[in-house]
């Protein structure tokens, strides 16, 4: 299983306004998508989950999951930053 770290972390705010979360790897992204996502299922969230699975299987590089996660986070309006 490949969990790949992202070159740059992604900062999101999935819940309370004072609780930012820094996502640094594909496994972090998958955990947020599966456990802490604030909105019901959307196509972008499902695409991000599929991208994380593809990386974990070794089929894609981590940047694919990172980009899909950013798109889903923007869609859910929880993205605070993706270039720390």
Task: Give the separation between CA 13 and CA 49, rounded to whole angstroms.
Answer: 18
pTM of the model: 0.90
Residues of the chain with pLDDT under 70: 1-3, 83-84
Reported as a single tens digit per residue, the pLDDT across 34-54 is: 998 987 789 999 999 999 999
Task: Give the separation between CA 60 and CA 19, rounded to whole angstroms.
Answer: 31
Q: Strands of the chain (E only): list them.
A: 5-12, 21-25, 79-81
Task: Give the separation between CA 33 and CA 42, rounded to whole angstroms.
Answer: 11
Whether 19 contacts 38, CB under 8 Å: no
């Amino acid at each position: 299983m490949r969990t790949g770290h992202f070159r740059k972390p992604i900062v999101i705010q999935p819940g309370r306004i004072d609780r930012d979360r820094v996502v640094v790897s594909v496994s972090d992204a998958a955990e947020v998508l599966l456990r802490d996502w604030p909105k019901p299922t959307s196509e972008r969230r499902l695409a991000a989950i599929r991208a994380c699975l593809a990386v974990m299987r070794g089929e894609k590089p981590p940047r694919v999951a990172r980009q899909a996660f950013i798109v889903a986070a923007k869609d859910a309006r929880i993205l605070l930053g993706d270039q720390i």
